[in-house]
Structure 1
Amino acid sequence: MLVLGLTAYVGAQGGDARADYERANTVASRTGGKVYHQADAPNWIGTEAKFWYRTSVKGGNEFVLVDAAAATKAPAFDHAKLAAGINTVTQGTATAITLPFSTFTYTDNGAAIEFSVGGAGRAGAAVAAGAQVTRLRCSLVDYKCQTVASQNGGVQGAGRAGRGGGAPGPNQDAPQFKPSPDGKSEAFIQNFNVFVRPAGKAAEATALSWDGSEGNAYTFNSIQWAPDSKKIAAFRRVPGYNRQVTYVASSPTDQLQPKTSSRFYRKPGDTVDIDTPVVFDVAAKSQFVVNNALFPNPYANQRLEWRKDSRAFTFEYNQRGHQVYRVIEVDAATGKARAVIEETSKTFIDYSRTNATLNGSGRTWRFDVNDGKEVLWLSERDGWSHIYLYDGVTGQLKNQVTKGNWAVHHVEKVDEAKRQIYFIANGMDSGPEAGDSRAVRQDPYFLNWFRINFDGTGLTRFTSAGAMHNVTWSPDQQYYVDTYSRVDMPPVSELRRTSDQKLVLELEKADITDLTATGWQMPEVFTSKGRDGTTDIWGVIIRPTNFDPSKTYPVIENIYAGPQGSFVPKTFSAQTGMLTLAELGFIVVQVDGMGTANRSRAFHDMAAKNLGDAGFPDRILWHKAIAAKYPWYDITRVGIYGTSAGGQNSTGAVLFHPEFYKVAVSNSGCHDNRMDKIWWNEQWMGWPIGPEYAASSNVDNAAKLQGHLMLVVPELDTNVDPSSTMQVVNALVRASKEFELVVIPGADHGAGSPITARKRNDFFVRYLRGIEPPNWNVVPLPTPGGLLSTDDGSWSALDAEAMPWVASETFMCPQCGS
């Protein structure tokens, strides 16, 4: 037991340290399952104005059925009878509030439900590879259940592919055919060229091109038939540099001797694939190679799409360096190209597509209206992310649809018939909310839902509470469920009517009485001014459950400053990751400085060719503002930790700002942007490679180390080349610097292992509190699965909740194999 094992340790270090470790190791067990009436996402039933959802109750969960038209809610079924019916078939021990599933489907016109059980052993958990998953159908009349199908958990539970790359592609040796829309023909690649044949008739294949070759081949995935089946568009590709990162698995599980492997991994400055669009007339067996005057230097040509009337196709040109972006239309009859839209920037264009998240949404979105006669386009040209309406025929701007010192974050739907846009935005509110007794401004990162007409009139707001919102619409968009919360406000779920936004039914209001009874405290939201003296910088403060304002506490910052998003939590949770670290006698904080996304363009531009900045001037001012308010906030003892880009940032903190940051733990860091994946780094640092890369490099600046640094590197990191960390190690050794290196054999990005989080925690205890941690070789280890050991093996437990954005570094990577 940890308690008994720490007894000897306590004799040397005192009772406070023992109690801290005991609290830290029990955070999850003390706080888990103590938020009641917190609703999961609604599940609308077919086209009906009905939906069901699961809500938490003490000891488990219940399922609720809602009739939006009747404004009623009731249990989705008799939970006790259903549990008994399930147990009869499975020989299990389900109860009314511990049913062995988290989702189900209504069948037989609502008289029965189907769901899967088994494999994971608990509702909502991932299915283990190879585990059997049983599909049950249960009557809601007599509650008799029967098995209807079995599925191999190895398929359902395969889990995520490595963060540095996706699942394997199709078997290139197998024939691939792309059928025409009328089903009469199919296109394929043969000898690097485009061929067509009547469907299923191999002997009648006809070549449409003869200019393809091994170094300039047509690509199957790019083949797009025109809707009238008369023409084909495709890209012919000159391949870029095939860079391979080599790995050594020192301790493979299936043999004694090490193994080597390699992985395609393109880096900044590498030659990229050059795709040239070509259009074919199938009947005439003719082709037009599109002149590249409008796309002379592509990082990527992509999103090749035909107009519905087959008159033309479009693609998007993303120029190398990401300062020019064009929507190009090609006339199918002549092959002539024209720019429908051109976007330019002196810094960078965030070309990734928008989505509804804060931690990885880009700033590019497009919608073609009436088959391209008009185009809706998202741009930051006026300093904020807004929607513009273009004449798709002339390429002229018709009007700016949205405007103001706030940002359109994502567009959910365009109603062409009504000429309306449903969108998500943030930053529109600058004053206290009505009914909110606290005199605070609304957090500019909170997402709210709106509708507006194409001409910029009729702005309608669907969410109003001063909180982070998530909206789910009914299939006919007549109703919506609005679930909202803050880090300091438990979730509320409401059913509202679209036509007047009126409340139809309060679904759930979370109860945290039992959570607060454990000593858990709400995080504190804190704002201060940034380096310019005017911009608000937002962050959160996590206190230990035994917080005593008469004492002073060292501070640890959880950092991730990747420019692809913002990362301070905005919704309610127990924050068990950061709280676990706080329980060891620290104040743990997280803050978004300039250079991160989801604010103004000027705020974001701080990252341009300047990733080494990482918002530190703003972060340090934010820390100092807290210290000025709270005497217990000790900024003479500040530590910092992070993973991936956060690994680069945390090491950068002690290299570039040693006067403030004294201790850093850096996991899986991309310490030199020339060593990391091409898309993520050229997006922010630019191309061609300039002196800015070296200026931001932890390798080139390693000799500046003054504080205490722990570097953690997973041996088989598929997201960040492990050599990125090892080159920092080399530079530190050559500079005769002291540091600690932790290598985790066999681990991927995040270095998940039984010791990763524990070593980080102990490093901070040793150097920020001046206490020698337990000798874990003598003291029994914490209970397996506790937050001091490891989580699911993907990355260390303190990051599992607090750092979900790490995976967002690898999306949208057409040029890096990721």
Structure 2
Amino acid sequence: MQSTKQGFLLLISVLLTISGNVLAQGKLADYQRAEALKTKLKDKVYNAPQQINWTKNGSRCWYVIQTARGKEFVVVDPKQKTRQLAFDQEQLAQKLAAATGKKIEPFNLPFTTLNFGKDDEAVEFVAEGFTWQYGPGAMAFSKKGPFRAEPTDRRYWGANSSELSDRAVPSPDSSQTAYIKNYNLYVRSEKTKQERQLSFDGSEGDYYASTIQWSPDSKKIATNKIRPNVKHLIYFVRSSPDDQLQPKLENREYLKPGDALPVRRPQLFLVDEGKQIPVDDALFNQQFSLSRLEWRKDSRAFTFEYNQRGHQVYRVLEVSAATGAVRPLVEERSNTFIDYSGKRYRFDLADGKEMVWASERDGWNHLYLIDGATGKVKKQLTKGEWVVRNVVTVDTASRTILFAASGKTPGQDPYFTQYYRVNLDGTNLTALTTEDANHVATFAPDFKTFVDSYSRVDMPPVTVLRSATDGSVLVNLEKADISEWQKAGWQTPDVFTAKARDGKTDIWGIIVRPTNFDPTKTYPVIENIYAGPHGSFTPKSFMATNRSMHELAELGFIVVQLDGMGTSNRSKAFQDVCWKNLKDAGFPDRILWMQAAAKKYPFMDLSRVGIYGTSAGGQSAAGALLFHPEFYKVAVSSCGCHDNRMDKIWWNEQWMGYPVGPQYAECSNVVNAHKLQGNLLLMVGEVDDNVDPASTMQVADALIKANKNFDLVVLPGLSHTSGGDFGERKRRDFFVKHLLNTDPPAWTATTSGTGAVGMGK
């Protein structure tokens, strides 16, 4: 009897504990705390520059930091090795207040951008609609005049620039002018004004391009002859325009996988002879694109780059100005794809006698020195199981290269960026940064010094001035202070690694906990996913973590982010997993990583896993419920490219291949919509011109036809988006309802001192 009673009491205790855990999550107090977190954290990381700016003459740099008293402007002099305030902020505030009649706080000045004068003493800034000048000491404070912003290019990102116009292009010696007339190439003597026609076979459907390139000796011209394609237009209805009652029909140029492309054929003209030299197109006749048509400085030849459709062949080609003969300087081939959009780099030395070239030909992205005469590799400049991330500069005088790389230091996160210098013969590879952190460098215009801000998600930033010769620290500039964040209860993200599907490769990710984290509780897990093959996306620097991840965690979740196989910045084989297989999205690695994390951290409840993402992340989030419903239970998908045949041509043909084969349907969320299990929320902007919004609507259509339950939110007037504040609230409520089994609080509920949580905000 006693044993039965004890067992009953134990059961009641367990049930109460479980009930308490659930009741303490997803409630109004949690929403209020999530909302209050914004205010508690905003501008509370002190002494951490966000952007480093070098003055025009390159002698000094400046930046803005947040301090306990407000914003401070700091200037650094590398020669003098000094750090000081850029100007007297209290004096400037007084002068600006007197001139405008407004109250100006000295450490909350109404501007964050400066322009330094030639002497680096006087500064110009824009405030209250005017441009002002201010200098130290007795220098005048003056209003220079009304501020007029430079017009910005508001062209749609996918619109093709016109290559058919009558714009005149003068020769380098100004003796002649070239232009397109009646689809053909003409030149005019500036002395006699006599006009000569150089081509005669141009037409509306096969015309000479107005992007005319004169040779440096003014004796030759190179341009393209273009056979245009039929434009692919996508259409939107802007339901709620700001300027009228009735909706608007809009369209955009938007090429999709499989569409016909314009064909460009380089043309060569000898101007004095009035002669056109044939250029054989055998080496570039299956083009996706031609680019960088450039003359050699001695006018002996011009070069261009050829990206074969399907992205498995990439060539740098040279055309002889004497004969029109075409020869390859570099040829890259891949059985999968060449990452032309993310890892391409070329620098010509000594007018083409040598070339610095980036390639993944040995399985890792590295730099090579190419012989310009033979096209053969003279020297592999970098080598090893690590990747060159980008080239900062090639110094032709000292024959050195400054570059960023990751993965070279054993024991460090392989995504951490470090900076290096190497000679053009591959010798004397020197690490300029070494600390176990992610480094962001801003180099002086002369590349002799650089400002290095380094941090980790679990380490606040340190900012120093370094020598670009040996990396030595010249001046210690800033060390961030996060004491206010710590007072607010902010939880440092945990960095976690686990093995990938191959049992060998490390997968790196982060774990975000709420400020009231209790290790005795269990929490549903939500993954923030973006698995685009063009990059890696897990934050590596402090404060790079998406703010909404921390706010989402406040509602009673563990939020994670990681990079699985199929993403970039590791080996070529690591990235190749994505090829013709975007539905993979690294899910086998992601699931193994979370399972390993849950073994170490039992507070992670893998019976309740959610996922969310936008764009390619939206595709993956929805795909999680189609292809891995045994693991993922709830998904929020925003502006997803759910069928890669519906999305932009360059991105999708690069990873999914060309021609458009059955792999596209196999990876389609539309085709596979009938497999849906779990709870899905789709969100889409009605005028999304990044990913055709019809892609989301086609998923919805397929789900309806398959008699599947789901939620759909269409966002009027919005383009490519995660939904803004409205979308964020919908996303949070969806996870609270379906992962915590709790009804979210009313949107009219208000928070203490922070305004409304929902619609009334």
Establish whether TM, by shorter chain, passes 0.5.
yes
- Taking the aligned partners of 2:698 and 2:345, their CA distance within structure 1 comes to 38
Given that residues 85 and 144 in structure 1 are in contact (C-alpha distance below 8 angstroms), is that contact kept between their aligned partners in structure 2?
Answer: no
Query: What residue in structure 2 maps to residue 600 of structure 1?
Result: 571
Q: 1:104 aligns with which of 114, 126, 130?
A: 114
Q: 1:39 aligns with which of 49, 57, 75?
A: 49
Query: What residue in structure 1 maps to residue 538 of structure 2?
Result: 568
Following superposition, the deviation at residue 253 of structure 1 comes to: 2.2
Following superposition, the deviation at residue 706 of structure 1 comes to: 0.8
- Taking the aligned partners of 2:421 and 2:760, their CA distance within structure 1 comes to 45
Following superposition, the deviation at residue 86 of structure 1 comes to: 1.4
Following superposition, the deviation at residue 110 of structure 1 comes to: 4.0
Given that residues 757 and 788 in structure 1 are in contact (C-alpha distance below 8 angstroms), is that contact kept between their aligned partners in structure 2?
Answer: no
Query: What residue in structure 1 maps to residue 677 of structure 2?
Result: 706
Query: Residue type matched to 2:433 in 1?
Result: T
Query: What residue in structure 2 maps to residue 135 of structure 1?
Result: 131
Given that residues 74 and 83 in structure 2 are in contact (C-alpha distance below 8 angstroms), is that contact kept between their aligned partners in structure 1?
Answer: yes
Gaps of 5+ in 1: 1-11, 119-132, 353-361, 432-441, 792-818
Query: What residue in structure 2 maps to residue 621 of structure 1?
Result: 592
Query: What residue in structure 2 maps to residue 367 of structure 1?
Result: 347
Which piece of structure 1 moves more, 256-265 or 142-151?
142-151
Q: 1:216 aligns with which of 185, 206, 223?
A: 206
Following superposition, the deviation at residue 14 of structure 1 comes to: 7.4
- Taking the aligned partners of 2:479 and 2:759, their CA distance within structure 1 comes to 34
Q: Compared with structure 1, are the counterparts of its residues 782 and 429 closer, same or farther at alpha carbon in structure 2 (3 Å cutoff)? A: same
Which piece of structure 1 moves more, 512-521 or 567-576?
567-576
Given that residues 21 and 583 in structure 1 are in contact (C-alpha distance below 8 angstroms), is that contact kept between their aligned partners in structure 2?
Answer: yes
Q: Compared with structure 1, are the counterparts of its residues 35 and 674 closer, same or farther at alpha carbon in structure 2 (3 Å cutoff)? A: same
Instruction: Give runs of aligned pairs for residues 759-774 of structure 1, distance below 5 A.
Output: 759-774=730-745
Query: Residue type matched to 2:444 in 1?
Result: S
Q: 2:486 aligns with which of 468, 492, 516?
A: 516
Given that residues 377 and 389 in structure 1 are in contact (C-alpha distance below 8 angstroms), is that contact kept between their aligned partners in structure 2?
Answer: yes
Given that residues 28 and 745 in structure 2 are in contact (C-alpha distance below 8 angstroms), is that contact kept between their aligned partners in structure 1?
Answer: no
- Does residue 165 (structure 1) correspond to residue 165 (structure 2)? The answer is no
Query: Residue type matched to 1:727 in 2?
Result: Q
Q: Compared with structure 1, are the counterparts of its residues 15 and 53 closer, same or farther at alpha carbon in structure 2 (3 Å cutoff)? A: closer
- Does residue 480 (structure 1) correspond to residue 480 (structure 2)? The answer is no
- Does residue 260 (structure 1) correspond to residue 249 (structure 2)? The answer is yes
Q: 1:391 aligns with which of 341, 366, 371?
A: 371
- Taking the aligned partners of 1:624 and 1:200, their CA distance within structure 2 comes to 78
Following superposition, the deviation at residue 313 of structure 1 comes to: 0.3
- Does residue 146 (structure 1) correspond to residue 180 (structure 2)? The answer is no
Query: What residue in structure 1 maps to residue 298 of structure 2?
Result: 309
Q: 1:296 aligns with which of 252, 268, 285?
A: 285
Given that residues 250 and 745 in structure 1 are in contact (C-alpha distance below 8 angstroms), is that contact kept between their aligned partners in structure 2?
Answer: yes
- Does residue 446 (structure 1) correspond to residue 416 (structure 2)? The answer is yes
- Taking the aligned partners of 1:507 and 1:773, their CA distance within structure 2 comes to 46
1:545-564 deviation digits (Å, cap 9, x = unpaired):
11111100001100010101
Query: Residue type matched to 2:147 in 1?
Result: Q
- Taking the aligned partners of 2:752 and 2:147, their CA distance within structure 1 comes to 36
- Taking the aligned partners of 1:297 and 1:461, their CA distance within structure 2 comes to 42
Given that residues 93 and 104 in structure 2 are in contact (C-alpha distance below 8 angstroms), is that contact kept between their aligned partners in structure 1?
Answer: yes
Calculate percent identity across the aligned residue pairs. 52
Given that residues 25 and 782 in structure 1 are in contact (C-alpha distance below 8 angstroms), is that contact kept between their aligned partners in structure 2?
Answer: no
1:684-739 deviation digits (Å, cap 9, x = unpaired):
00000111111110001000001100111111110111110111111101100000
Q: Larger relative contact order (C-alpha < 8 A, sep ≥ 6)?
A: 1
Query: Residue type matched to 1:763 in 2?
Result: F
Given that residues 753 and 789 in structure 1 are in contact (C-alpha distance below 8 angstroms), is that contact kept between their aligned partners in structure 2?
Answer: no
TM-score after normalising by structure 2: 0.93
Given that residues 33 and 58 in structure 1 are in contact (C-alpha distance below 8 angstroms), is that contact kept between their aligned partners in structure 2?
Answer: no
1:414-459 deviation digits (Å, cap 9, x = unpaired):
112222111111100112xxxxxxxxxx110111111111221110
1:67-94 deviation digits (Å, cap 9, x = unpaired):
2222222222211111111111222322
Q: Compared with structure 1, are the counterparts of its residues 237 and 784 closer, same or farther at alpha carbon in structure 2 (3 Å cutoff)? A: farther
Following superposition, the deviation at residue 369 of structure 1 comes to: 0.9
Query: Residue type matched to 2:304 in 1?
Result: F
1:443-495 deviation digits (Å, cap 9, x = unpaired):
10111111111221110111011111111223333322211111111111111
- Taking the aligned partners of 1:160 and 1:621, their CA distance within structure 2 comes to 44
- Taking the aligned partners of 1:765 and 1:330, their CA distance within structure 2 comes to 63
| Structure 2 counterpart SS, 1:646 | helix
Instruction: Give runs of aligned pairs for residues 313-392 of structure 1, distance below 5 A.
Output: 313-352=302-341, 362-392=342-372
RMSD over aligned CA atoms reads 2.3
Which piece of structure 1 moves more, 87-96 or 516-525?
87-96
Given that residues 752 and 790 in structure 1 are in contact (C-alpha distance below 8 angstroms), is that contact kept between their aligned partners in structure 2?
Answer: no
Which piece of structure 1 moves more, 709-718 or 567-576?
567-576
- Taking the aligned partners of 1:55 and 1:512, their CA distance within structure 2 comes to 13
TM-score after normalising by structure 1: 0.87
Query: Residue type matched to 1:268 in 2?
Result: P
Q: Compared with structure 1, are the counterparts of its residues 377 and 108 closer, same or farther at alpha carbon in structure 2 (3 Å cutoff)? A: closer
Q: Compared with structure 1, are the counterparts of its residues 773 and 46 closer, same or farther at alpha carbon in structure 2 (3 Å cutoff)? A: closer
Q: 2:276 aligns with which of 277, 284, 287?
A: 287
Q: Compared with structure 1, are the counterparts of its residues 786 and 381 closer, same or farther at alpha carbon in structure 2 (3 Å cutoff)? A: farther
Query: What residue in structure 2 maps to residue 491 of structure 1?
Result: 461
| Structure 2 counterpart SS, 1:371 | helix
- Taking the aligned partners of 1:343 and 1:159, their CA distance within structure 2 comes to 35
Which piece of structure 1 moves more, 34-43 or 666-675?
34-43
- Taking the aligned partners of 1:785 and 1:747, their CA distance within structure 2 comes to 24
Q: Compared with structure 1, are the counterparts of its residues 339 and 159 closer, same or farther at alpha carbon in structure 2 (3 Å cutoff)? A: closer
Gaps of 5+ in 2: 1-21
| Structure 1 counterpart SS, 2:622 | helix
Query: Residue type matched to 2:346 in 1?
Result: R
Query: Residue type matched to 2:480 in 1?
Result: A
Q: Compared with structure 1, are the counterparts of its residues 14 and 594 closer, same or farther at alpha carbon in structure 2 (3 Å cutoff)? A: closer
Which piece of structure 1 moves more, 73-82 or 58-67?
58-67
- Does residue 733 (structure 1) correspond to residue 704 (structure 2)? The answer is yes
Given that residues 89 and 145 in structure 1 are in contact (C-alpha distance below 8 angstroms), is that contact kept between their aligned partners in structure 2?
Answer: no
Tell me the matched-pair count.
740
Query: What residue in structure 1 maps to residue 508 of structure 2?
Result: 538
Given that residues 312 and 337 in structure 2 are in contact (C-alpha distance below 8 angstroms), is that contact kept between their aligned partners in structure 1?
Answer: yes
Following superposition, the deviation at residue 181 of structure 1 comes to: 1.5
Given that residues 558 and 640 in structure 1 are in contact (C-alpha distance below 8 angstroms), is that contact kept between their aligned partners in structure 2?
Answer: yes
- Taking the aligned partners of 1:422 and 1:117, their CA distance within structure 2 comes to 38
Q: Compared with structure 1, are the counterparts of its residues 702 and 145 closer, same or farther at alpha carbon in structure 2 (3 Å cutoff)? A: same
Query: What residue in structure 1 maps to residue 124 of structure 2?
Result: 114
Following superposition, the deviation at residue 261 of structure 1 comes to: 1.8
Given that residues 618 and 641 in structure 2 are in contact (C-alpha distance below 8 angstroms), is that contact kept between their aligned partners in structure 1?
Answer: yes
Query: What residue in structure 2 maps to residue 125 of structure 1?
Result: none
Following superposition, the deviation at residue 248 of structure 1 comes to: 1.3
Q: Compared with structure 1, are the counterparts of its residues 159 and 183 closer, same or farther at alpha carbon in structure 2 (3 Å cutoff)? A: closer
1:482-522 deviation digits (Å, cap 9, x = unpaired):
11111111111111223443222100000001111001111
Following superposition, the deviation at residue 667 of structure 1 comes to: 0.5
- Taking the aligned partners of 1:443 and 1:755, their CA distance within structure 2 comes to 36
- Taking the aligned partners of 2:163 and 2:639, their CA distance within structure 1 comes to 32
Structure with max Cα Rg: 2
Instruction: Give runs of aligned pairs for residues 672-751 of structure 1, distance below 5 A.
Output: 672-750=643-721
Query: What residue in structure 1 maps to residue 7 of structure 2?
Result: none
Given that residues 122 and 135 in structure 2 are in contact (C-alpha distance below 8 angstroms), is that contact kept between their aligned partners in structure 1?
Answer: yes
Q: 2:240 aligns with which of 228, 243, 251?
A: 251
- Does residue 17 (structure 1) correspond to residue 27 (structure 2)? The answer is yes
